Amino acid sequence: MNFLTEPTRFIFFTGKGGVGKTSIACATALQLAEAGRRVLLVSTDPASNVGQVFGQTIGNTITPLTSVPGLDALEIDPEQAAAEYRERIIGPVRGLLPEPEIASITEQLSGSCTTEIASFNEFTGLLADPSLVADYDNVIFDTAPTGHTIRLLKLPGDWTGFLDAGKGDASCLGPLSGLEKQRKLYSGAVEALADPSMTRLVLVARAQASSLVEIARTAEELTTTGIKPSNVVINGVLPTNAGANDSLVLAIRDRERAAVADMPVSLAGVPRDIIELKPENMVGLAALRSLFEGTTAVPSEAIAVPQEDIAPTLDAMVDELAADGHGLILCMGKGGVGKTTIASAIATRLAELGHDVHLTTTDPAGHLENTMGDGCGLPSLSMSRVDPQRAVKEYREHVMATKGKNLDDAGRALLAEDLMSPCTEEVAVFQQFSRLVNEARRKFVVMDTAPTGHTLLLMDAAGSYHREIERNMPAGTLYTTPMMRLQDPDYTKILLVTLPETTPVLEASILEDDLKRAGIQPWAWVVNQSLTASDTTSPLLRHRASQEHGPLDAVRARARRLAIVPLLQEEPTGPRRLAMLAS
């Protein structure tokens, strides 16, 4: 492995959920420890299973692993860190401020920025205080902060005073308020991250176009902060002995080769490692030792998958949706789970059934055109794309021209960085999104991606559209706002899209809880790209299918409705294949 050649003191693994960061981090820590080094393994992954991998309870304290001399581990729970972080800020004013104001501050500190900054706050000392890691040769981190968080931590100025004066909206700067005392420690941590002689940053992806584009974005974002990614790892690539006669294996292999061949140019010069897909989940020392082996041992016989793992298909769900005759259908989930495909398949099938359908997306990568092809050929199906870049540009310009008008240079820098928040994009897009919500009164509007529950509550708590309407309407007047439409289960159907893997299912569960806080109840779950539901005869893939059982059970425990979509031989692109996916 290139990324293990002359390892630096700190090694970070970063990438989207479900790409295998934890497995690679654990295997790296094991290999270094067994080579005689003293190693600390630190996880900030919300789905961390480091303890399960090594068969030992770890938690939020440095714990020696009894099975591996020289290896200690620490699991930082991001949600717990965020909760404790919020309490440190809110605790001193609880009882002094009215409850509605406390609720508003709490929601402002409930977004992904808070969670990430709280996690970074937890392990800052490991990077900046040499005494804390003096006993270790290497410190391995499973998950790294984003470029946005690094830029926030590098900003000058008084965050608290800036917010208290009403110059910012607290979407991202809020979590930083009151932290001036730690500015020096943060500065040391950021310097360590940017020093290639101390830190190696490894981008982890799957051999899929969307996954590779995502790490290219991450690399670009981090480069703007002075942190240059050092390595790329493409994980879970089908081995050559996976099954030469299985049509699904051949199709996957072709797709993987094409994705790697068309990797973003920005990653072309970065040293690259390929890790083959293994039959087993990475649990136990033997499995971890096998991860970096060049040749994969493939099972000789296929495992039978229980039939109860195969749920109703997408067509039954589409029939139920069609019965309403109109409405808003939102496909939500993390990047790379196939939201665009599922939204396109539902829209195409509804149009085939004779309904008037508007398919739209807020996907900045514009995957809708790639999925639908040159033309859908269905007169009752129209398509559009909400341009997030344009929406954000207009929104930022407006805020800088109003709130930023009379600020000094330092204040404008703080406000400009606050407007780089992911929350900003969601708020800006929501303004255009509201028009589409209203359109669903007379037709089906099927949307790929939508704002999270946190963003909706932020807008609501900040006196946004919903509150403004509520406040200004005469008593007794009937009115309906976009927020009320989203909360109406007869008008809006939210489909949570995920993969049959532990981390994507956990991330979708967090999203579901987030939406429920906003009074929005997801209507159904869709598990995409399932090997369980495929017709593969490959022993390797059937073995992998048998390990989907746990994640599928976790979805069943939550889902009011469930559809399982198989991993297909042909990419589901173009109207014909999309309609078949849901018919």
Q: Read off the CATH number of the domain in which 192 is found.
A: 3.40.50.300
pLDDT of residue 461: 47
* Assigned domain for 533 exists: yes
Active site residue 110: no
Q: Is 20 one of the annotated active-site residues of the chain?
A: yes
284 assigned to active site: no
Say if residue 95 is in the same domain as residue 238.
Answer: yes
Q: Is residue 567 part of a domain?
A: yes
Low-confidence ranges of the chain (pLDDT < 50): 156-157, 159, 162-163, 178, 459, 461-469
**Domain assignment of residue 572, yes or no:** yes
Residue 164: the pLDDT is 54
Answer positive or negative: Cα dihedral of 493, 498, 500, 504.
Answer: negative
**Which of the following is catalytic: 15, 17, 20, 111?**
20
pTM value?
0.78
Distance CA 455, CA 289 (A): 43
Residues 178 and 312 in one domain: no
Examine the residue annotation and report whether 21 is marked as an active-site residue of this protein. yes
User: Within this chain, do residues 239 and 104 fall inside the same structural domain, yes or no?
Assistant: yes
Residues 34 and 92 both lie in one domain: yes
Q: Are residues 268 and 339 in the same domain?
A: no
440 and 316 in a common domain: yes
Residues 266, 327: Cα–Cα separation, whole Å: 41
Quote the pLDDT of residue 281: 82
Question: For the chain, how many structural domains are there in total?
Answer: 2
Give the domain extent around 260.
2-290
Query: Annotated catalytic residue: which of 503, 530, 534, 536?
Result: 503
Residue 55 lies in a domain: yes
Decide if 404 is inside a domain: no
> Pick from 226, 261, 290: which residue ends a domain?
290
Note whether 458 and 347 are same-domain residues.
yes
Domain boundary (229, 264, 290) is at 290
Residues 368, 233 share a domain: no
Count the neighbouring beta carbons within 10 Å of the beta carbon of residue 61: 9
The reply to whether 550 belongs to the active site is no
232 and 342 share one domain? no
Concerning whether 503 is annotated as a catalytic residue, the answer is: yes
Catalytic residue among 15, 17, 18, 574: 18
> In this structure, is residue 543 part of a structural domain?
yes
Would you tell me how many other CB atoms lie within 10 Å of the CB of residue 181?
7
Is 406 a member of any domain?
no
Q: Which two tokens stand for residue 379?
A: 């007169």
Shared domain for 266 and 338, answered yes or no, is no
Q: Which of 15, 17, 23, 452 is catalytic?
A: 23
E strand or H helix at 82, and its extent? helix 78-90
Q: Which of 257, 290, 323 marks a domain boundary?
A: 290
Q: What is the dihedral of CA 463, 467, 471, 475, to 10 degrees?
A: -170
Please give the Cα distance from 107 to 111 (Å, whole number): 8
**Beta pairing, strands 39-43 & 71-75:** parallel
98 and 204 part of one domain: yes
**Is 449 tagged catalytic?**
no
Tell me the C-alpha distance between 10 and 200, whole Å: 6
Residue in 14, 22, 290, 360 annotated catalytic: 22
Distance separating alpha carbons of residues 414 and 399, to the nearest angstrom: 12
**DSSP strand pairing (524-530 vs 562-566):** parallel
Q: Is residue 401 part of a domain?
A: no
Same domain membership, residue 178 and residue 90: yes
